[in-house]
Structure 1
């Protein structure tokens, strides 16, 4: 019986007969639902099946542009492999828009047919895999809401190719397919002529759209406009800030989330006699003024503008450009307390002298600053300007989850290769604007498309000369594009923006001038033709398309990913993760389901590889990234951050600091010239606790350290009770292991010397307490005690990513030293473990999946994951089946030995490996063979091992990909 058949039988038994049966199969029937709390979506399973399939068929009644967009990059990758599929759909209820059929026509490796069966309402997805068929059937049509948001029930089943069940589905499909009409351009034209769309029942809850009905001046009409959910929460927090006597506040709110309306609502609540609203560009003034009129009501003359062309300084509500209000002639014409309430838009620019001049002059009762990006690359402290009072903060991920922004589909696509060389930051203009690259760009922007009837796009280029030349070439190809740079006047910019909104041009090509401060709600495509040098700028540019508009359902983001060392910033920017932890960044690149709502993040396969390459090289920039993050957090909280602050404020992973600098005091001294009063011994203790305990991989040490810091000592029994209260596994071996960590006996002689050689925690008379030398330091140096508490608090926060009732967690990374500790070995034996070692009833096996070409032949074993549940493993060379070190592994089950598998993709990932769980050898696969080494042919043993838990798909794909 084949491995697949056995696995399938076990899986079906568990799924349909006994849910408690312990199996090693990976094919149990599954109910697929959308669960945003767990980042689990129906779409994830469809992606997984598409990536592995040899062909596919979909039978779906309804398809939307957005739903199709979620699959486009996967279908593109299948096309590159020569794999195609078929989609059967219909015109039932006139749900499918003609444009979605035009989008389907772009996908060359998918054949589409239309059935005229009355009431066609099927929803099924069938994938042919190498060994089996997968079927997803239930309630989800091919729409982004059905695949990511709606409450849906779908069942995923696995069948052998001879299974009767799958044959029924295939036969049903083929019967309808044979009678269906092929999708052609002529068919679409006829359908378009007869098409009558369904009534759009979508409820618009965005205040900017809903408010147009209140165009009158009457205050009672204005009061009918109510804040949305985010604005209500923000208003309460702003009011609470003022209730504490604060006179300044900072609103940090993602682009498109309604900052202007929020500020207007707060002004309505505050009811100032006079208000000043400051912006940095004149084109924003009129819109801001009209938005305020809708919210506040009142007479026309209450609202005035102060700019280069208009001077209505007597208005109750004055809207001014910073260029005008900062001029001495205007500034001095107002009393310092003339305005009770001052608002500053895009306040991250307030480091400029003009802003400083205005802010120092006026003395309002309350001043509000608003920005989407308070962080600045020059590290000017915007937070300090507002007394570190963050009134409210909502970032991109939260705004998407609250449906405050237009959904987006991000596509990381591969940039063009010129003479076999991928575009990089050293590329010449002649390489950036070749005929072939222009064709490549056009192919991508057409394939991924844009929501709505007509594209309205922004293209961000790397250089002005590139933008100008590219615009000329695109226009020659039938596009209507223009270029805007910092050299163009404000009037020219406004005129071009109006043309884009009106649909008379297709694209504006620019370099950086539209990163912020420009409002073009109808933009439905953003094209990035430059490397990502800053996650702040990345989000600013992506944000240009995130405002909701009636003409679009989503915005398409097309990011051309070249050979740039800064590519790792892309998953950092999209996820909002600032940890600077390479493994976390890999995680967000492997699995992009972190994006909430109907939005998606998609990478073409080659583009994803470019990002992984950049992550592997991320270490060369770590010191700079750490310093930037430190200064950013210091600015935000107004003091030197503690280690735990980095966790509290979602900043860098403190362990990255420790990995780079060994201790936080050393880091502070280097990046900020801050000296501490620690003795040499105290620094060694700090180093030990930072390196060995703060990683949070075992809660036991953290709890013991915390209890002794709080109470001076703790009895063994009380310690055991606290462990149980924290759901920690408790046994004698683990207890002894914890003791060996703190008395340093676990460590090598080299590490013992590095950590001070004295016992940090001792066991005396049934109680744990600090060793004498450590205790004296705590008594005599308060700063030392506070730092230990900080390490302890930080470790507790980090430990939340692990599990307390098991020593190892699937898919987390561990070093050989970690594994020795967590498996309760008496000593750190990393130096003699090599690829595997059996001890104390355990056998950890460490595998480097892709070995470097320089690795000598004698250890270049061909270990491989045959599939998600089977590992082909090789012993060291010069071993035979009868070897003493192999017998316990071969007969692990009968001897009660637990085999633990750890794999890293390659040596670029460092020393730590992903834990893939326990495994069991398949005895009848144990084979003795030979391997060629530098010293001739040597015997070697290989065998298949079955994983106790099949390897999670994203991890399997990452490890096995070349």
Structure 2
């Protein structure tokens, strides 16, 4: 099987991490971008080296999917560690294992600590749990690859406590632009859904409270769905089985062909097959279909299980991002959730570079009343945010004129060069979270940046890399930028170093006054 360019790049990067002695590394790919194919090829590479590999997951569907893809893409067959099935005595070098089975002392003790050379963790955002850690600690010398689709910085921070590096990340906007995933159009449904009384549990909303809070709105939601999506193939995520069943009945009364599946459904496989074959056009579930199920023809996702956890949100939306003949985009329905907290996930959070942009995007989508393409909204929102930052920078510069400072505030520098990756940076891995080293502090001072305003080693590293790159490209220094911006010149962060130097020399020769004939607002370097 021929891998796509980014898949081959991921495969190479993972092997490189292990070769360099980084034992625990992460792969982040959006749902639908072939993470199983990538780790299948990684497994093939390791088996060729004579290694034994364990694929660890928390659900049977994920294990079956991994075994199937592995055989189809590499020809490798697998043994299974799940319930009464065991790999003991098998000559297959790859084992797919259920974490619930493997974590048991009786089962784990049958394997020597060096039995597996490599461990792959599917849906790696679960691996911080005690059950996974018990298995991973037993095989403590194995190389570990965690695979996840989550874009959530919160998750990445948690994962950073276990994993030592991020081997490769492929982001959702890039996958859409490259034509590997469907474009996403978001539409806000103008219903005020009150969640202010819903309680919290394990960092998210309580499912039991959500079900009760949703009940009064279900009929109105069904009507709005009929108005905007009656001709689409829809998956609906709800907080409780009883809410899912009630909503299915309502949808059928409105004219939809709706079905419901849950963990107890004896005919689940049949219902899923009928939905895939268009007997039904709506499938309701209570968070059952977030992982391990694919139906590429789905072109509308309705999230009636509001969440603060981006990994969960992206899993739900990911059920509709795959390509399918005749499918032009995924319609994602959002709602005017009223909550006392402002941490709720919205469509914007799938692709926004930071929370500031996400808020601006969400406002645009809510005010539009028509489906909007997320990428186009992001572009406009980023421009708006930059304009607001420039305005804030002007105020900040006015205040800074009163304070003569030898070194440049890093925030001022970031905004001047429009460095999104620096201003929204959040450390993920242990070494990044510590304070800047003495060497970094000295280097920042030498290059004109006030080091006290840089909180951690990860940010210091990124700042120094950016300063080195700008020096190589012959662009303005922080001190040049501050000097010229204080005198009203615009976009100095994009100027060549030499052009800025010549202008500053002219200003100096003119008694530190701007020479006649130069208008700072209109001046172009």
Aligned equivalents of 1:477 and 1:558: distance in 2? 18
The answer as to whether partners of 1:253 and 1:394 remain within 8 angstroms in 2 is: yes
1:276 aligns with 2:51: no
1:586 aligns with 2:360: yes
For residues 160-214 of structure 1, the C-alpha deviation after alignment (integer angstroms, 9 at most, x for no partner) is xxxxxxxxxxxxxxxxxxxxxxxxxxxxxxxxxxxxxxxxxxxxxxxxxxxxxxx
**Against the structure 1 CA distance between its residues 539 and 729, is the aligned structure 2 distance closer, same or farther, given a 3 Å change threshold?**
farther
* TM-score after normalising by structure 1: 0.38
Shift of 1:518: 3.4
Aligned equivalents of 1:276 and 1:265: distance in 2? 14
Q: For 1:424, which of 181, 194, 202 is the aligned residue?
A: 194
RMSD of Structure 2 on Structure 1 (CA): 4.6
Shift of 1:285: 2.0
Aligned equivalents of 1:632 and 1:495: distance in 2? 46
Shift of 1:561: 3.8
Q: For 2:139, which of 362, 382, 397 is the aligned residue?
A: 362
Shift of 1:292: 0.8
Q: In proportion to residue count, which structure has more strand?
A: 1
Partner of 1:725: 498
Which of the two has higher C-alpha Rg?
1
Aligned equivalents of 2:156 and 2:167: distance in 1? 21
Shift of 1:396: 0.8
**Against the structure 1 CA distance between its residues 414 and 330, is the aligned structure 2 distance closer, same or farther, given a 3 Å change threshold?**
same
For the residue of structure 2 that corresponds to 1:415, the secondary structure is: strand
Partner of 1:164: none
Shift of 1:227: 1.7
Q: For 2:373, which of 592, 600, 603 is the aligned residue?
A: 600
Unaligned runs of 5+ in 1: 1-224, 417-421, 593-598, 616-628, 645-657, 669-697, 707-721, 741-823, 825-839, 842-895, 901-916, 919-962
Partner of 2:296: 521
Partner of 1:445: 229
Q: For 2:118, which of 329, 333, 341 is the aligned residue?
A: 341
Shift of 1:424: 3.4
**Against the structure 1 CA distance between its residues 536 and 414, is the aligned structure 2 distance closer, same or farther, given a 3 Å change threshold?**
same
For the residue of structure 2 that corresponds to 1:431, the secondary structure is: helix
For the residue of structure 1 that corresponds to 2:113, the secondary structure is: coil
Aligned equivalents of 2:511 and 2:333: distance in 1? 51
1:233 aligns with 2:6: no
Partner of 1:813: none
Q: For 2:101, which of 324, 332, 338 is the aligned residue?
A: 324
Shift of 1:464: 5.6
Shift of 1:501: 2.3
Aligned equivalents of 1:344 and 1:229: distance in 2? 23
Aligned equivalents of 2:194 and 2:315: distance in 1? 22
The answer as to whether partners of 1:279 and 1:322 remain within 8 angstroms in 2 is: yes
Shift of 1:318: 1.3
For the residue of structure 2 that corresponds to 1:232, the secondary structure is: helix
Aligned equivalents of 1:551 and 1:733: distance in 2? 62
Shift of 1:382: 1.8
**Against the structure 1 CA distance between its residues 632 and 439, is the aligned structure 2 distance closer, same or farther, given a 3 Å change threshold?**
same
For residues 454-474 of structure 1, the C-alpha deviation after alignment (integer angstroms, 9 at most, x for no partner) is x2x211236665433322211
Map 1:61-72 to 2 at 5 A. none
**Against the structure 1 CA distance between its residues 238 and 440, is the aligned structure 2 distance closer, same or farther, given a 3 Å change threshold?**
closer
Q: For 1:533, which of 282, 292, 308 is the aligned residue?
A: 308
Partner of 1:297: 75
Shift of 1:640: 1.9
Partner of 1:460: 237
Higher relative contact order (CA 8 A, sep 6+): 2
For the residue of structure 2 that corresponds to 1:638, the secondary structure is: helix
Shift of 1:632: 9.2
Shift of 1:738: 13
Aligned equivalents of 1:589 and 1:318: distance in 2? 48
Aligned equivalents of 2:481 and 2:45: distance in 1? 51
Shift of 1:349: 0.4
Map 1:46-85 to 2 at 5 A. none
For the residue of structure 1 that corresponds to 2:374, the secondary structure is: strand
Map 1:197-236 to 2 at 5 A. 225-236=1-12
For residues 694-727 of structure 1, the C-alpha deviation after alignment (integer angstroms, 9 at most, x for no partner) is xxxx967534889xxxxxxxxxxxxxxx975265
Shift of 1:360: 0.6
**Against the structure 1 CA distance between its residues 569 and 324, is the aligned structure 2 distance closer, same or farther, given a 3 Å change threshold?**
closer
Aligned equivalents of 1:704 and 1:409: distance in 2? 39
Aligned equivalents of 1:352 and 1:463: distance in 2? 23
Aligned equivalents of 2:508 and 2:434: distance in 1? 34
For the residue of structure 2 that corresponds to 1:381, the secondary structure is: helix
Shift of 1:364: 5.3
Shift of 1:577: 0.7
**Against the structure 1 CA distance between its residues 274 and 376, is the aligned structure 2 distance closer, same or farther, given a 3 Å change threshold?**
same
Shift of 1:359: 0.4
**Against the structure 1 CA distance between its residues 411 and 375, is the aligned structure 2 distance closer, same or farther, given a 3 Å change threshold?**
closer
Partner of 1:62: none
Aligned equivalents of 1:328 and 1:541: distance in 2? 34
Aligned equivalents of 1:556 and 1:473: distance in 2? 21
For the residue of structure 2 that corresponds to 1:333, the secondary structure is: coil
Aligned equivalents of 1:725 and 1:317: distance in 2? 59
Partner of 1:183: none
Aligned equivalents of 1:571 and 1:525: distance in 2? 13
Shift of 1:630: 11
How many residue pairs are counted as aligned between the two chains?
A: 417
Aligned equivalents of 2:270 and 2:141: distance in 1? 36
Partner of 1:745: none
For residues 782-828 of structure 1, the C-alpha deviation after alignment (integer angstroms, 9 at most, x for no partner) is xxxxxxxxxxxxxxxxxxxxxxxxxxxxxxxxxxxxxxxxxx8xxxx
Moved more, 536-545 or 369-378: 369-378
* TM-score after normalising by structure 2: 0.66
For residues 194-248 of structure 1, the C-alpha deviation after alignment (integer angstroms, 9 at most, x for no partner) is xxxxxxxxxxxxxxxxxxxxxxxxxxxxxxx222211211122123223323333
Aligned equivalents of 2:43 and 2:327: distance in 1? 32
Aligned equivalents of 2:18 and 2:141: distance in 1? 13
Shift of 1:423: 2.9
Q: For 2:148, which of 365, 371, 375 is the aligned residue?
A: 371
The answer as to whether partners of 2:40 and 2:73 remain within 8 angstroms in 1 is: yes
For the residue of structure 2 that corresponds to 1:358, the secondary structure is: helix
Aligned equivalents of 2:326 and 2:177: distance in 1? 21
The answer as to whether partners of 1:251 and 1:368 remain within 8 angstroms in 2 is: yes
Aligned equivalents of 1:376 and 1:473: distance in 2? 37
The answer as to whether partners of 1:700 and 1:723 remain within 8 angstroms in 2 is: no
**Against the structure 1 CA distance between its residues 738 and 343, is the aligned structure 2 distance closer, same or farther, given a 3 Å change threshold?**
farther
**Against the structure 1 CA distance between its residues 354 and 501, is the aligned structure 2 distance closer, same or farther, given a 3 Å change threshold?**
same
1:475 aligns with 2:252: yes
Shift of 1:311: 2.9
Shift of 1:394: 0.9
Partner of 2:428: 635
The answer as to whether partners of 2:188 and 2:365 remain within 8 angstroms in 1 is: no
For the residue of structure 2 that corresponds to 1:311, the secondary structure is: coil
Aligned equivalents of 1:283 and 1:268: distance in 2? 21
